[in-house]
Amino acid sequence: MVMLNSLGFKSEELSSNLKDISKFLMVAALAAIGLNTKYRDMKKAGINPMLHGFIISLLVVMVAILVIYFMGMV
């Protein structure tokens, strides 16, 4: 898609529509995941999976910030 857009084979309107569709599908997928999540199962699993997910997310953010800093984009 990037190559087609860069070469001019894709119009701005098509690009905008594809972005909107992409956002909608992402929201629909996340909603489907949320609707299939049972509070009882989360309570049974405990805090460890949530804590693990938070720590991993924090590490991803830290690495991204370091990469941006060392690439001189700040």
The reported pLDDT for the residue numbered 74 is: 79
Q: Residue 74 and residue 60: Cα distance in Å, rounded?
A: 18
Task: Provide φ and ψ at 38, rounded to 5°.
Answer: -105, 130
- Could you tell me the residue ranges of all domains in the chain? 1-36, 46-73
Task: Report CA 44 to chain centroid distance, whole Å.
Answer: 27
Residue 8: which pLDDT band, with cuts at 50, 70 and 90? confident
Q: Residue 22 and residue 27: Cα distance in Å, rounded?
A: 9
Tokens (6 digits) for 24? 């909608």
Does this model's pTM top 0.85? My answer is no
Tens of pLDDT, residues 13-66: 887 888 999 999 999 999 999 999 898 998 999 999 999 999 999 999 999 999
Greatest alpha-carbon pair distance for the chain in Å reads 53
Total Cβ atoms within 10 A of residue 18: 13
